[in-house]
Amino acid sequence: MSVPSDRKYTETHEWFMVEGDVVTMGITQYAADELTDITYVDLPDVGASVAAGEPVGEVESVKATSDVYSAVTGEVVETNNELADHPEILNEDAFDRGWLLRIRADSLKPLNKLMDAREYEAHIAL
Amino acid sequence: MPTTACHAGDADSIQTSEGLAVLKTPLYDTHVRLGGKMVEFAGWSLPVSFAGINEEHVHTRTACSVFDVSHMGRLKLTGKDVPAFLDRICTRKLAPEPGRSFYSHVCREDGGILDDVIVSCGDGYWGIVCNGANRDKIVAWLKRQMAGRAVTLVDDTTATAMLAIQGPQAIPLAQERAGIDLSGLKRYRFMVRNLFGIEVRVYRSGYTGEDGLEVVLPAGAVNLLLPHLFGSADQPDPVVKPAGLGARDTLRIEAAMPLYGHELTEDWDSLTAGLAWCVDLTKDFIGAEAMRKIQARGLQKQLVGLELEGRRIARQHHEVLSGSEVVGEVTSGTLSPTLGKSIAMAFVPPPLAEVGTKLEVNLGRARAAATVVKLPFYKRPG
């Protein structure tokens, strides 16, 4: 499993990619694989405020329901509408087509504390 | 001295990160080679899925899947008192006809279900297949009840392997590949066959809602026989595919088959679980008196099927509500791959068990409207 090096990672298996002041986030392929077949994704509405360290949505699979946490504070500017009818996209491609939401972040600073791809790879190899 | 229970020919084990020993089935290496995602279940390392739960589920409903169910307990009873002993232990009346199998419960005096088992009458012996998670408990219970009787119990679990071959293609394929005639083998019958010099017990049963077989064979032989019959990682079979515990669970939920720890527990009895058909109250088994009283008093709750609105899954212990009142509890739920709907089994009071009754399920952070539907959710065609 290859972990893209163009983004940052949390210990709880979310990824964050910066484009200007907008941060795209999702869950890692490792997390999607661990959850097994994903059946439902719950995301906030566009315009909602999210806070660093707080849950922003849920990913539900045959096996379990998991919270998804934001690493940044800001406003949701876009969500991945395709996931409502096709949550299995997360199993197929969690790092690209399976992105969850885009957040206009108040600050990008919290991302500095997150893991890079190499550190995350070591984290999941434990 | 270790205090853990010892079984004849103990299986290989691996250590978890918590330092616990987890048993390996004889097919462990095969699962890993096939890309199985291994999890710990009932003290065993087993694959939860290979290609994906949904895909394996659909494949079982439309073609044929092989499941490793070697974690199930396999016990052998011999001795002249076995029929009388089993009559006392089992809720079901067992006919002593070699080649027949019976689904039954084993209960405590108060009716609490200790396990659900398949009891088979062999030629000069009886076999019991119990749940993997209950094996130690059932062995201890049987040994206690056996005292003073001419009964010998041997735990064959780790000396054998058990496979479930399930799906509409299972019977024709097994006949073709193994060259054995299964046309006379009815549901809940079994036979013993010699396959390439290996003794194989073939049962016409399963836990998927499909037709199929469950096969018990020596632990050392399964890795020789399986690739020969159903392909390998290097040479996958075009029709038969491996399936894991995940699909096993979604398949059995659609077929409304009970799972120990969910629909069946020590906290209630077989009648309450909705399985009166496997209880013979005219005989004197352990738990009979309690169940006669429960029947006379009337059941307090009933197992129903629920269809939920939306795609969210109801899980064990989620509350069932009628209006604002909590009236029951979910035992199992899933997003049905066959129906494309969120389905669940739940206990509710009998007045609310009527098909069409509108209820609600508290899924934690959300609630979903639910309607009582007929069980099973899925019945195979024909």
| Closest residue to B52, CB basis, from A37, A58, A65 | A37
- One-letter amino acid for residue B97 of the chain: E
Residue B32 belongs to a domain = yes
| Residue B6: per-residue pLDDT | 36
Residue B90 belongs to a domain = yes
| H/E element, A120 | helix A117-124
What's the average model confidence in pLDDT over A34-53? 96
| Residue B5: per-residue pLDDT | 35
Averages of pLDDT over runs of 10 residues in chain B (382 residues) are: 38 68 94 94 96 97 97 98 98 96 98 98 97 97 96 97 97 92 94 91 97 96 87 87 97 98 98 97 98 97 98 97 97 97 98 98 94 98 84
| B51 and B88 both lie in a single domain | no
- One-letter amino acid for residue B296 of the chain: A
Q: Is A93 on the interface with B (CB under 8 A)?
A: no
Give tens-digit pLDDT for B213-228.
999 999 999 998 888 8
B207 or A125: which carries more pLDDT confidence?
B207
Burial of B144 by CB count in 10 Å (0-12 exposed, 13-18 middle, 19+ buried)?
Answer: exposed
Q: Does the predicted interface ipTM exceed a cut of 0.90?
A: no
| Residue A49: per-residue pLDDT | 97
Q: Spell out the domain ranges in chain A.
A: 8-106
Range of the domain at B13: 7-70+158-254
- One-letter amino acid for residue B240 of the chain: V
Q: For chain A, how many residues are written?
A: 126
Give the minimum alpha-carbon distance from A112 to chain B in angstroms, rounded to a whole number: 30
| B62 and B164 both lie in a single domain | yes
CATH label of the domain that carries residue B367? 2.40.30.110
| Domain-terminating residue out of B155, B181, B211 | B155
| Closest residue to A63, CB basis, from B246, B310, B312 | B246
Cβ neighbours of residue B227 closer than 8 Å, sequence gap 6 or more: B235
Give the minimum alpha-carbon distance from A40 to chain B in angstroms, rounded to a whole number: 6
Which positions 200-219 of B are in contact with A (Cβ < 8 Å)?
none
How much of chain A, in percent, has pLDDT values that exceed 90? Answer: 95
CB–CB contact A62 B246 (8 Å): yes
Residue in chain A lying closest to B54 (CA): A37
| Residue B195: per-residue pLDDT | 87
Q: Domain A8-106, what architecture?
A: Beta Barrel (2.40)
Cβ neighbours of residue B57 closer than 8 Å, sequence gap 6 or more: B243, B247, B250, B251, B337, B338
* 3-state SS track over chain B: CCCCCCCCCCCCEEECCCCCEEEECCCHHHHHHCCCEEEEECCEEEEEECCCHHHHHHHHHHCEEEEECCCCEEEEEECCCHHHHHHHHECCCCCCCCCEEEEEEEECCCCCEEEEEEEEECCCCEEEEECHHHHHHHHHHHHHHHCCCCCEEEECHHHEEEEEEECCCHHHHHHHHHCCCCCCCCCCEEEEEEECCEEEEEECCCCCCCCEEEEEEECCCHHHHHHHHHECCCCECCCEEECCHHHHHHHHHHCCCCCECCCECCCCCCCCCCCHHHCCCCCCCCCHHHHHHHHHHCCCCEEEEEEECCCCCCCCCCEEEECCEEEEEEEEEEEECCCCEEEEEEEECHHHCCCCCEEEEECCCCEEEEEEECCCCCCCCC
Report the domain count for chain B: 3
Give the minimum alpha-carbon distance from A77 to chain B in angstroms, rounded to a whole number: 24
A72 has a pLDDT exceeding 80: yes
Q: Is B341 on the interface with A (CB under 8 A)?
A: no
| Residue B50: per-residue pLDDT | 95
Residue in chain B lying closest to A42 (CA): B312
- First-to-last alpha carbon distance for chain A, in angstroms, is 14
| B64 and B166 both lie in a single domain | yes
CATH label of the domain that carries residue B195? 3.30.1360.120
Of the candidates A60, A7, A108, the residue with the CA atom closest to the CA atom of residue B308: A60
Cβ neighbours of residue B72 closer than 8 Å, sequence gap 6 or more: B129, B130, B131, B132, B157, B162
Residues of A in contact with B340 (CB under 8 A): none
| Residue A81: per-residue pLDDT | 96
| B81 and B223 both lie in a single domain | no
Q: Is B316 on the interface with A (CB under 8 A)?
A: no
| Residue B16: per-residue pLDDT | 61
CB–CB contact A39 B250 (8 Å): no
| B244 and B310 both lie in a single domain | no
| B129 and B113 both lie in a single domain | yes
| B95 and B57 both lie in a single domain | no
